[in-house]
């Protein structure tokens, strides 16, 4: 699987480089907002593509960072809850059954009684 990912990455990088080499002398006009009055004229196409790529990476990084913080918070909360439940279970296992409160009395049934053979 690693080999396939590397191969796809190389193919994508090669396609982008091939596109840029074919369009080295091309320039574009860039508007940063729909209604903006300022337009950047004659920006090299490769530079515009690089900036768009870096903005996409930055956006992905911010989203991934927020998700990571949320998951770490949830993992910490679940670990505390697990520790509390394990402490309670350890306490219950260590206490004698006679110490536990009972709500109804139990009548013991003999070994052979109550079983169908």
One DSSP character per residue, the chain reads -HHHHHHHHHHHHHHHHHHHHHTTT-EEEE-SSTT-S--EEEEEHHHHHHHHHHHHHHHHHHHHHHHHHHHHHHHHHHHHHHHHHHHHHHHHHHS-GGGS--SS---PPPSSTT---
pLDDT at 117: 45
pTM above 0.85, yes or no: no
Look at residue 2 and tell me if it is in a domain.
no
Q: Looking at the domain assignment, is residue 10 inside a domain?
A: no
| 16-75 tens-digit pLDDT | 889 888 988 999 999 888 887 889 999 999 899 889 989 999 999 999 999 999 999 999
**Which two tokens mark 75?**
């993992």
Say how far apart CA 17 and CA 57 lie, in whole Å.
18
pLDDT for the residue 92: 86
| Residue 8 within any structural domain of the chain | no
Domain residues for the domain of 56 are 16-94
What is the count of structural domains for the chain?
A: 1
- 107 assigned to some structural domain: no
Residue 45 inside a domain? The answer is yes
In a domain, 113, yes or no: no
68 lies in some domain? yes
Query: Does residue 34 fall inside a structural domain?
Result: yes
- Who wins on pLDDT, 103 or 56? 56
């Amino acid at each position: 699987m690693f080999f396939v990912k590397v191969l796809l990455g190389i193919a994508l990088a090669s396609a982008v480089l091939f596109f840029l080499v074919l369009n080295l002398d091309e320039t574009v006009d860039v508007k940063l907002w729909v209604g903006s009055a300022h337009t950047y004229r004659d920006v090299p196409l490769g530079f515009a593509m690089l900036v768009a790529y870096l903005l996409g990476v930055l956006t992905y990084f911010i989203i991934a960072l927020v998700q990571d913080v949320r998951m770490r918070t949830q993992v910490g909360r679940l670990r505390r809850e697990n520790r509390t439940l394990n402490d309670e279970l350890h306490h219950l296992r260590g206490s004698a059954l006679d110490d536990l409160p009972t709500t109804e009395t139990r009548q013991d049934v003999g070994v052979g009684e109550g079983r169908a053979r």
